[in-house]
Amino acid sequence: MKYFSTNHKAPIATLKKAVVKGLAEDRGLYMPEEIKKLPKEFFDNIENYSFQEIACVVADAFFGEDVNAEDLKKIVCVTLSFETPLAQVEDNIFSLELFHGPTLAFKDVGARFMARLLQYFIRKEKGDSLVNVLVATSGDTGSAVANGFLGVDGIHVYVLYPKGKVSKIQECQFTTLGKNITAVEVDGVFDDCQTLVKNAFMDSELNSAMKLTSANSINVARFLPQAFYYFNAYSQLKRLGKADEMVMCVPSGNFGNICAALFGHAMGLPIKRFIAANNANDVFFNYLKTGQYEPKPSVQTIANAMDVGDPSNFARIIELYGNSHKRISSLISGATYSDSQIAESMKSCREQTGYILDPHGACGYRALKENLKIGEVGVFCETAHPAKFKDTVEGIIGSEVAIPERLAAFMRGEKQSVPMTKDFADFKKFLLGCCK
Protein backbone atom coordinates (compact mmCIF):
# COMPACT_ATOMS: atom_id res chain seq x y z
CA MET A 1 0.00 0.00 0.00
CA LYS A 2 1.23 3.47 -0.83
CA TYR A 3 0.58 6.60 1.19
CA PHE A 4 -0.05 10.12 -0.09
CA SER A 5 0.08 13.43 1.74
CA THR A 6 -3.07 15.40 2.59
CA ASN A 7 -1.26 18.46 1.18
CA HIS A 8 -0.72 16.65 -2.16
CA LYS A 9 2.73 18.16 -2.64
CA ALA A 10 4.99 15.39 -1.32
CA PRO A 11 6.11 12.19 -3.06
CA ILE A 12 4.03 9.03 -2.54
CA ALA A 13 5.52 7.02 0.35
CA THR A 14 5.83 3.39 1.38
CA LEU A 15 4.38 2.30 4.73
CA LYS A 16 7.90 2.14 6.14
CA LYS A 17 8.59 5.72 5.16
CA ALA A 18 5.23 6.93 6.46
CA VAL A 19 5.88 5.29 9.83
CA VAL A 20 9.55 6.28 10.15
CA LYS A 21 8.99 9.89 9.04
CA GLY A 22 5.57 10.51 10.60
CA LEU A 23 4.83 13.67 8.64
CA ALA A 24 5.22 14.10 4.86
CA GLU A 25 7.78 16.55 3.39
CA ASP A 26 5.03 19.09 2.65
CA ARG A 27 3.93 18.82 6.32
CA GLY A 28 0.76 17.00 5.31
CA LEU A 29 -0.52 13.81 6.94
CA TYR A 30 -0.14 10.46 5.25
CA MET A 31 -3.26 8.71 3.94
CA PRO A 32 -3.47 5.20 2.45
CA GLU A 33 -4.21 5.27 -1.28
CA GLU A 34 -6.90 2.67 -0.86
CA ILE A 35 -9.30 1.67 1.90
CA LYS A 36 -10.26 -1.95 1.45
CA LYS A 37 -13.86 -3.01 1.95
CA LEU A 38 -14.17 -6.08 4.14
CA PRO A 39 -16.37 -8.95 2.94
CA LYS A 40 -20.01 -9.27 3.98
CA GLU A 41 -19.33 -12.70 5.55
CA PHE A 42 -16.95 -11.02 8.00
CA PHE A 43 -19.67 -8.68 9.28
CA ASP A 44 -22.28 -11.44 9.21
CA ASN A 45 -20.16 -13.53 11.60
CA ILE A 46 -18.25 -10.88 13.50
CA GLU A 47 -20.02 -11.68 16.78
CA ASN A 48 -18.23 -15.04 16.80
CA TYR A 49 -14.76 -13.52 16.53
CA SER A 50 -12.48 -12.61 19.44
CA PHE A 51 -10.99 -9.11 19.71
CA GLN A 52 -7.62 -10.39 18.49
CA GLU A 53 -9.20 -12.22 15.56
CA ILE A 54 -11.14 -9.12 14.53
CA ALA A 55 -8.00 -6.99 14.82
CA CYS A 56 -6.02 -9.42 12.65
CA VAL A 57 -8.56 -9.08 9.83
CA VAL A 58 -8.56 -5.28 10.07
CA ALA A 59 -4.76 -5.05 10.39
CA ASP A 60 -4.36 -7.26 7.32
CA ALA A 61 -6.51 -4.87 5.27
CA PHE A 62 -4.34 -1.91 6.31
CA PHE A 63 -0.88 -3.41 6.53
CA GLY A 64 -1.04 -6.90 4.96
CA GLU A 65 0.66 -5.85 1.71
CA ASP A 66 3.68 -4.46 3.54
CA VAL A 67 4.19 -6.69 6.55
CA ASN A 68 4.76 -10.43 6.59
CA ALA A 69 1.55 -12.18 7.74
CA GLU A 70 3.11 -14.04 10.69
CA ASP A 71 4.86 -10.91 11.96
CA LEU A 72 1.71 -8.81 11.60
CA LYS A 73 -0.25 -11.35 13.62
CA LYS A 74 2.41 -11.25 16.33
CA ILE A 75 2.34 -7.45 16.42
CA VAL A 76 -1.46 -7.50 16.82
CA CYS A 77 -1.34 -10.09 19.58
CA VAL A 78 1.38 -8.28 21.55
CA THR A 79 -0.55 -5.03 21.16
CA LEU A 80 -3.93 -6.38 22.27
CA SER A 81 -3.29 -8.15 25.52
CA PHE A 82 -6.43 -6.67 27.10
CA GLU A 83 -10.14 -6.37 26.44
CA THR A 84 -12.27 -3.28 25.78
CA PRO A 85 -15.61 -4.30 27.32
CA LEU A 86 -18.96 -2.62 26.69
CA ALA A 87 -20.61 -1.56 29.93
CA GLN A 88 -24.33 -0.89 29.83
CA VAL A 89 -24.99 2.48 31.46
CA GLU A 90 -28.62 2.94 30.45
CA ASP A 91 -31.17 1.03 28.38
CA ASN A 92 -29.83 2.28 25.09
CA ILE A 93 -26.44 3.75 26.12
CA PHE A 94 -23.23 1.76 26.42
CA SER A 95 -19.74 2.74 27.51
CA LEU A 96 -16.93 1.30 25.43
CA GLU A 97 -14.23 1.09 28.08
CA LEU A 98 -10.99 1.76 26.28
CA PHE A 99 -9.00 2.16 29.49
CA HIS A 100 -7.96 -1.38 30.31
CA GLY A 101 -4.49 -1.08 28.75
CA PRO A 102 -1.20 -0.74 30.67
CA THR A 103 -1.48 3.03 31.24
CA LEU A 104 -5.29 2.97 31.39
CA ALA A 105 -5.70 5.10 28.24
CA PHE A 106 -6.99 4.19 24.79
CA LYS A 107 -3.72 5.47 23.32
CA ASP A 108 -1.98 2.32 24.58
CA VAL A 109 -3.06 0.29 21.55
CA GLY A 110 -1.77 2.76 18.98
CA ALA A 111 1.46 3.37 20.89
CA ARG A 112 2.21 -0.34 21.31
CA PHE A 113 1.34 -1.09 17.70
CA MET A 114 3.52 1.71 16.39
CA ALA A 115 6.47 0.65 18.56
CA ARG A 116 6.37 -2.90 17.20
CA LEU A 117 5.80 -1.88 13.59
CA LEU A 118 8.69 0.58 13.73
CA GLN A 119 10.86 -2.12 15.24
CA TYR A 120 9.81 -4.54 12.48
CA PHE A 121 10.95 -2.12 9.78
CA ILE A 122 14.21 -1.32 11.59
CA ARG A 123 15.07 -4.97 12.11
CA LYS A 124 14.31 -5.87 8.51
CA GLU A 125 17.01 -3.54 7.30
CA LYS A 126 20.03 -4.27 9.41
CA GLY A 127 22.37 -1.34 9.81
CA ASP A 128 19.57 1.18 10.20
CA SER A 129 20.56 3.70 12.83
CA LEU A 130 18.71 4.44 16.05
CA VAL A 131 15.29 6.02 15.56
CA ASN A 132 14.41 8.81 17.97
CA VAL A 133 10.78 9.40 18.84
CA LEU A 134 9.85 12.86 20.07
CA VAL A 135 6.54 13.36 21.77
CA ALA A 136 5.03 16.40 23.44
CA THR A 137 2.41 15.63 26.04
CA SER A 138 -0.05 17.15 28.45
CA GLY A 139 -0.23 13.74 30.13
CA ASP A 140 -1.93 10.83 28.40
CA THR A 141 0.06 10.60 25.16
CA GLY A 142 3.40 10.63 26.97
CA SER A 143 2.51 7.82 29.32
CA ALA A 144 1.06 5.59 26.58
CA VAL A 145 3.97 6.20 24.21
CA ALA A 146 6.65 5.77 26.89
CA ASN A 147 5.15 2.49 28.06
CA GLY A 148 4.45 1.27 24.54
CA PHE A 149 8.07 1.80 23.49
CA LEU A 150 9.74 0.78 26.75
CA GLY A 151 12.53 -1.73 26.12
CA VAL A 152 12.00 -1.80 22.33
CA ASP A 153 15.54 -1.83 20.96
CA GLY A 154 16.65 0.45 18.17
CA ILE A 155 14.33 3.21 19.37
CA HIS A 156 14.82 6.00 21.91
CA VAL A 157 11.90 8.09 23.15
CA TYR A 158 11.98 11.69 24.41
CA VAL A 159 8.83 12.75 26.24
CA LEU A 160 8.52 16.53 26.59
CA TYR A 161 6.09 17.72 29.24
CA PRO A 162 5.29 21.05 30.92
CA LYS A 163 6.76 21.38 34.41
CA GLY A 164 4.09 21.38 37.11
CA LYS A 165 1.20 21.06 34.64
CA VAL A 166 0.82 17.28 34.51
CA SER A 167 -0.97 15.30 37.21
CA LYS A 168 1.27 13.36 39.63
CA ILE A 169 -0.11 10.03 38.44
CA GLN A 170 0.54 10.84 34.81
CA GLU A 171 4.03 12.18 35.47
CA CYS A 172 5.01 8.96 37.23
CA GLN A 173 3.96 6.96 34.20
CA PHE A 174 6.74 8.33 32.04
CA THR A 175 9.39 9.68 34.41
CA THR A 176 10.02 6.48 36.37
CA LEU A 177 10.79 4.12 33.50
CA GLY A 178 14.45 4.76 32.57
CA LYS A 179 15.99 2.51 29.86
CA ASN A 180 15.20 3.92 26.40
CA ILE A 181 12.77 6.54 27.75
CA THR A 182 13.97 10.06 28.59
CA ALA A 183 11.54 12.48 30.22
CA VAL A 184 12.26 16.13 29.45
CA GLU A 185 10.69 18.56 31.91
CA VAL A 186 10.16 21.85 30.09
CA ASP A 187 9.90 25.11 32.00
CA GLY A 188 6.81 26.26 30.09
CA VAL A 189 3.32 25.18 29.03
CA PHE A 190 2.19 22.35 26.73
CA ASP A 191 2.31 24.59 23.64
CA ASP A 192 6.01 25.27 24.36
CA CYS A 193 6.68 21.50 24.36
CA GLN A 194 4.80 21.14 21.08
CA THR A 195 6.78 24.02 19.56
CA LEU A 196 10.11 22.46 20.60
CA VAL A 197 9.11 19.19 18.91
CA LYS A 198 7.91 20.94 15.74
CA ASN A 199 11.13 22.98 15.54
CA ALA A 200 13.19 19.82 15.95
CA PHE A 201 11.44 18.20 12.97
CA MET A 202 12.15 21.26 10.84
CA ASP A 203 15.81 21.71 11.84
CA SER A 204 18.04 20.40 9.06
CA GLU A 205 21.20 20.07 11.15
CA LEU A 206 19.36 17.97 13.72
CA ASN A 207 17.71 15.81 11.06
CA SER A 208 21.00 15.01 9.37
CA ALA A 209 22.55 14.08 12.74
CA MET A 210 19.73 11.82 13.92
CA LYS A 211 16.57 10.06 12.72
CA LEU A 212 13.55 11.75 14.22
CA THR A 213 9.90 10.75 14.17
CA SER A 214 6.69 11.60 15.98
CA ALA A 215 4.41 9.32 17.96
CA ASN A 216 1.44 11.67 17.97
CA SER A 217 -1.69 10.60 16.11
CA ILE A 218 -0.33 12.15 12.92
CA ASN A 219 1.58 8.86 12.55
CA VAL A 220 -0.43 6.29 10.57
CA ALA A 221 0.83 3.47 12.77
CA ARG A 222 -0.46 5.28 15.85
CA PHE A 223 -3.97 6.18 14.76
CA LEU A 224 -5.07 3.42 12.34
CA PRO A 225 -4.93 0.55 14.87
CA GLN A 226 -7.58 2.37 16.88
CA ALA A 227 -10.03 1.18 14.21
CA PHE A 228 -9.86 -2.23 15.94
CA TYR A 229 -11.93 -0.80 18.78
CA TYR A 230 -14.92 0.01 16.63
CA PHE A 231 -15.17 -3.36 14.91
CA ASN A 232 -14.96 -4.93 18.34
CA ALA A 233 -17.64 -2.61 19.75
CA TYR A 234 -19.96 -3.51 16.87
CA SER A 235 -19.27 -7.20 17.45
CA GLN A 236 -20.15 -6.91 21.14
CA LEU A 237 -23.31 -4.92 20.48
CA LYS A 238 -24.36 -7.39 17.80
CA ARG A 239 -23.92 -10.20 20.30
CA LEU A 240 -26.52 -8.40 22.44
CA GLY A 241 -28.82 -8.06 19.40
CA LYS A 242 -28.65 -4.25 19.57
CA ALA A 243 -26.41 -3.29 16.66
CA ASP A 244 -29.01 -2.49 13.98
CA GLU A 245 -28.97 1.26 14.52
CA MET A 246 -25.66 1.82 16.22
CA VAL A 247 -24.55 5.38 16.90
CA MET A 248 -20.88 5.82 17.81
CA CYS A 249 -19.91 8.81 19.93
CA VAL A 250 -16.22 9.67 20.29
CA PRO A 251 -14.88 12.31 22.72
CA SER A 252 -12.38 14.10 20.48
CA GLY A 253 -9.31 16.30 20.73
CA ASN A 254 -6.91 15.78 17.83
CA PHE A 255 -9.58 13.63 16.12
CA GLY A 256 -7.26 10.63 15.66
CA ASN A 257 -9.59 8.22 17.42
CA ILE A 258 -12.76 9.22 15.56
CA CYS A 259 -10.80 9.28 12.31
CA ALA A 260 -9.88 5.62 12.86
CA ALA A 261 -13.58 4.89 13.45
CA LEU A 262 -14.43 6.62 10.17
CA PHE A 263 -11.86 4.49 8.37
CA GLY A 264 -13.68 1.48 9.80
CA HIS A 265 -16.95 2.84 8.44
CA ALA A 266 -15.34 3.28 5.02
CA MET A 267 -14.33 -0.40 5.19
CA GLY A 268 -17.99 -1.35 5.57
CA LEU A 269 -18.50 -1.34 9.33
CA PRO A 270 -22.27 -0.83 9.68
CA ILE A 271 -22.37 2.08 12.11
CA LYS A 272 -25.38 4.30 11.34
CA ARG A 273 -23.85 7.63 12.31
CA PHE A 274 -21.19 9.30 14.44
CA ILE A 275 -21.04 12.04 17.04
CA ALA A 276 -17.83 13.94 17.80
CA ALA A 277 -18.12 15.15 21.39
CA ASN A 278 -15.99 18.12 22.35
CA ASN A 279 -15.32 20.10 25.49
CA ALA A 280 -15.25 23.91 25.17
CA ASN A 281 -12.79 23.59 22.25
CA ASP A 282 -15.38 23.80 19.52
CA VAL A 283 -13.63 24.26 16.13
CA PHE A 284 -15.05 21.05 14.66
CA PHE A 285 -18.50 21.78 16.05
CA ASN A 286 -18.39 25.17 14.33
CA TYR A 287 -17.13 23.61 11.10
CA LEU A 288 -20.17 21.30 11.02
CA LYS A 289 -22.47 24.26 11.58
CA THR A 290 -20.94 26.72 9.13
CA GLY A 291 -18.72 24.79 6.71
CA GLN A 292 -15.81 27.02 7.74
CA TYR A 293 -12.78 25.61 9.51
CA GLU A 294 -11.35 28.26 11.80
CA PRO A 295 -8.63 26.98 14.14
CA LYS A 296 -8.02 28.97 17.30
CA PRO A 297 -5.86 28.72 20.43
CA SER A 298 -6.99 25.95 22.77
CA VAL A 299 -8.75 26.72 26.04
CA GLN A 300 -8.05 24.79 29.24
CA THR A 301 -10.79 22.47 30.49
CA ILE A 302 -11.22 19.63 32.99
CA ALA A 303 -11.14 17.21 30.02
CA ASN A 304 -7.60 18.36 29.23
CA ALA A 305 -6.61 15.59 26.81
CA MET A 306 -9.12 17.19 24.43
CA ASP A 307 -7.86 20.76 24.76
CA VAL A 308 -7.00 21.17 21.09
CA GLY A 309 -7.72 24.26 19.03
CA ASP A 310 -6.48 22.97 15.65
CA PRO A 311 -7.04 19.21 15.49
CA SER A 312 -4.38 17.66 13.27
CA ASN A 313 -6.55 14.82 11.93
CA PHE A 314 -9.14 17.23 10.56
CA ALA A 315 -7.08 17.14 7.33
CA ARG A 316 -7.62 13.37 7.10
CA ILE A 317 -11.38 13.64 7.63
CA ILE A 318 -11.65 16.27 4.89
CA GLU A 319 -9.62 14.04 2.56
CA LEU A 320 -11.71 10.96 3.35
CA TYR A 321 -14.90 12.68 2.17
CA GLY A 322 -13.50 14.60 -0.79
CA ASN A 323 -13.74 17.89 1.09
CA SER A 324 -17.53 17.66 1.06
CA HIS A 325 -19.06 19.43 4.04
CA LYS A 326 -22.37 17.89 3.07
CA ARG A 327 -21.08 14.32 3.29
CA ILE A 328 -19.25 15.02 6.53
CA SER A 329 -22.13 16.75 8.25
CA SER A 330 -24.65 14.12 7.19
CA LEU A 331 -22.56 11.32 8.76
CA ILE A 332 -21.11 13.13 11.77
CA SER A 333 -22.79 15.48 14.20
CA GLY A 334 -21.09 17.51 16.88
CA ALA A 335 -21.47 18.53 20.50
CA THR A 336 -19.59 20.97 22.71
CA TYR A 337 -19.75 21.22 26.50
CA SER A 338 -18.50 23.63 29.12
CA ASP A 339 -16.75 22.40 32.27
CA SER A 340 -19.92 22.90 34.28
CA GLN A 341 -21.95 20.81 31.82
CA ILE A 342 -19.30 18.08 31.95
CA ALA A 343 -19.39 18.12 35.75
CA GLU A 344 -23.18 18.08 35.83
CA SER A 345 -23.25 14.99 33.58
CA MET A 346 -20.64 13.19 35.70
CA LYS A 347 -22.69 13.88 38.81
CA SER A 348 -26.09 12.95 37.40
CA CYS A 349 -24.78 9.80 35.71
CA ARG A 350 -23.24 8.67 39.00
CA GLU A 351 -26.45 9.41 40.92
CA GLN A 352 -28.87 7.89 38.43
CA THR A 353 -26.93 4.88 37.14
CA GLY A 354 -24.01 4.34 39.53
CA TYR A 355 -21.53 4.58 36.66
CA ILE A 356 -18.44 6.74 37.21
CA LEU A 357 -17.41 8.75 34.16
CA ASP A 358 -14.11 10.53 33.62
CA PRO A 359 -14.41 14.11 32.26
CA HIS A 360 -13.67 13.02 28.65
CA GLY A 361 -16.13 10.14 28.56
CA ALA A 362 -18.69 12.45 30.18
CA CYS A 363 -18.78 14.57 27.00
CA GLY A 364 -19.60 11.43 25.02
CA TYR A 365 -22.28 10.28 27.43
CA ARG A 366 -23.96 13.68 27.44
CA ALA A 367 -23.92 13.95 23.65
CA LEU A 368 -25.76 10.61 23.41
CA LYS A 369 -28.28 11.60 26.10
CA GLU A 370 -29.08 14.73 24.12
CA ASN A 371 -29.00 13.35 20.58
CA LEU A 372 -30.10 9.71 20.44
CA LYS A 373 -33.28 9.10 18.47
CA ILE A 374 -35.90 6.43 19.15
CA GLY A 375 -34.69 3.03 18.01
CA GLU A 376 -31.01 3.98 18.09
CA VAL A 377 -28.47 2.45 20.44
CA GLY A 378 -25.54 4.65 21.40
CA VAL A 379 -22.01 3.70 22.34
CA PHE A 380 -19.59 6.30 23.71
CA CYS A 381 -15.88 5.81 24.25
CA GLU A 382 -14.80 6.00 27.88
CA THR A 383 -11.30 7.13 26.91
CA ALA A 384 -9.59 7.14 30.31
CA HIS A 385 -10.01 5.49 33.69
CA PRO A 386 -11.61 7.96 36.13
CA ALA A 387 -8.74 7.38 38.59
CA LYS A 388 -6.39 9.15 36.21
CA PHE A 389 -8.31 12.34 36.99
CA LYS A 390 -8.87 11.37 40.61
CA ASP A 391 -9.00 14.82 42.22
CA THR A 392 -11.34 16.28 39.59
CA VAL A 393 -13.66 13.28 39.61
CA GLU A 394 -13.83 12.99 43.40
CA GLY A 395 -14.48 16.71 43.73
CA ILE A 396 -17.46 16.39 41.40
CA ILE A 397 -19.09 13.12 42.43
CA GLY A 398 -18.30 13.54 46.12
CA SER A 399 -17.03 10.03 46.72
CA GLU A 400 -13.70 8.27 46.45
CA VAL A 401 -12.31 6.69 43.28
CA ALA A 402 -10.05 3.72 43.92
CA ILE A 403 -6.67 3.70 42.16
CA PRO A 404 -6.12 0.44 40.25
CA GLU A 405 -2.97 -1.43 41.30
CA ARG A 406 -1.40 -0.96 37.86
CA LEU A 407 -1.53 2.78 38.32
CA ALA A 408 -0.38 2.66 41.94
CA ALA A 409 2.70 0.66 40.91
CA PHE A 410 3.99 3.57 38.80
CA MET A 411 3.75 5.88 41.79
CA ARG A 412 6.28 3.85 43.72
CA GLY A 413 9.01 4.40 41.09
CA GLU A 414 11.71 7.07 41.26
CA LYS A 415 11.30 10.17 39.14
CA GLN A 416 14.09 10.91 36.65
CA SER A 417 13.86 13.81 34.23
CA VAL A 418 16.02 16.28 32.35
CA PRO A 419 15.24 19.94 33.13
CA MET A 420 14.90 22.07 29.98
CA THR A 421 14.15 25.70 29.09
CA LYS A 422 11.62 26.47 26.34
CA ASP A 423 14.44 27.85 24.20
CA PHE A 424 14.93 25.68 21.09
CA ALA A 425 18.72 26.28 21.06
CA ASP A 426 18.98 24.52 24.46
CA PHE A 427 16.85 21.59 23.37
CA LYS A 428 18.82 21.19 20.14
CA LYS A 429 22.14 21.22 22.02
CA PHE A 430 20.79 18.56 24.35
CA LEU A 431 19.61 16.29 21.50
CA LEU A 432 22.90 16.66 19.60
CA GLY A 433 24.73 15.74 22.80
CA CYS A 434 22.57 12.59 23.15
CA CYS A 435 23.45 11.23 19.72
CA LYS A 436 27.23 11.68 20.03
Residues with catalytic roles: 107
Residue 365 Cβ vs ligand PLP, minimum distance, rounded to whole Å: 13
Return all residues near 424 (Cβ < 8 A) that are at least 6 apart.
195, 196, 199, 200, 203
Residue 250 Cβ vs ligand PLP, minimum distance, rounded to whole Å: 7
Nearer to ligand PLP, 212 or 306 (CB): 306
Our finding on whether 137 is near ligand PLP (CB under 6 A) is no
Nearer to ligand PLP, 403 or 434 (CB): 403
> What is the SS3 assignment for 297-326?
CCCCCCCHHHCCCCCCCHHHHHHHCCCCHH
Kindly indicate which of the ranges 120-128, 231-239, 252-260, 403-411 contains the residues binding ligand PLP, using the contact rule CB under 6 A.
Answer: 252-260
Among 147, 217, 236, 301, binds ligand PLP (CB under 6 A): 217
CA distance 34 to 2: 8
Residue 312 Cβ vs ligand PLP, minimum distance, rounded to whole Å: 8
SS3 391: helix
Our finding on whether 305 is near ligand PLP (CB under 6 A) is yes
SS3 4: strand
Residue 230 Cβ vs ligand PLP, minimum distance, rounded to whole Å: 13
CA distance 95 to 90: 9
Our finding on whether 251 is near ligand PLP (CB under 6 A) is yes
CA distance 263 to 259: 6
Our finding on whether 282 is near ligand PLP (CB under 6 A) is no
Residue 420 contacts residue 116 (beta carbons within 8 Å): no
Residue 290 contacts residue 328 (beta carbons within 8 Å): no
Kindly indicate which of the ranges 246-254, 277-285, 321-329, 408-416 contains the residues binding ligand PLP, using the contact rule CB under 6 A.
Answer: 246-254
Here the contacts of 289-298 (C-beta below 8 Å, separation 24 or greater) are 289/334, 291/325, 298/191
Residue 361 Cβ vs ligand PLP, minimum distance, rounded to whole Å: 8
> What is the SS3 assignment for 68-113?
CHHHHHHHHHHHCCCCCCEEEEECCEEEEECCCCCCCECHHHHHHH
Among 22, 162, 253, 378, binds ligand PLP (CB under 6 A): 253
Nearer to ligand PLP, 66 or 282 (CB): 282
Nearer to ligand PLP, 235 or 312 (CB): 312
Among 56, 58, 105, 122, binds ligand PLP (CB under 6 A): 105
Question: Site mask, ligand PLP, residues 340-379, x = CB under 6 A?
Answer: --------------------x-------------------
Residue 262 Cβ vs ligand PLP, minimum distance, rounded to whole Å: 12
SS3 6: coil
Neighbours of 165 (CB within 10 A): 16
Strand segments, DSSP code E, in 223-349 are 246-251, 273-278, 332-336
Residue 189 Cβ vs ligand PLP, minimum distance, rounded to whole Å: 18
Among 200, 275, 306, 317, binds ligand PLP (CB under 6 A): 306
Residue 130 Cβ vs ligand PLP, minimum distance, rounded to whole Å: 27
Residue 192 contacts residue 162 (beta carbons within 8 Å): yes
Among 29, 218, 362, 384, binds ligand PLP (CB under 6 A): 384
First-to-final CA distance of the chain:
36
Residues in binding contact with ligand PLP, number by CB under 6 A: 16
In 3D space, the residue among 69, 155, 70 whose CA is nearest the CA of residue 112 turns out to be 155
Kindly indicate which of the ranges 30-38, 254-262, 278-286, 396-404 contains the residues binding ligand PLP, using the contact rule CB under 6 A.
Answer: 254-262
- Cα atoms found within 13 Å of the Cα of residue 304, Cβ hemisphere only: 17
Among 92, 147, 235, 252, binds ligand PLP (CB under 6 A): 252
CA distance 161 to 426: 15
Question: Site mask, ligand PLP, residues 140-169, x = CB under 6 A?
Answer: x-----------------------------
Nearer to ligand PLP, 18 or 144 (CB): 144
Residues within the interface to ligand PLP (CB under 6 A): 105, 107, 140, 217, 251-257, 305-306, 360, 383-384
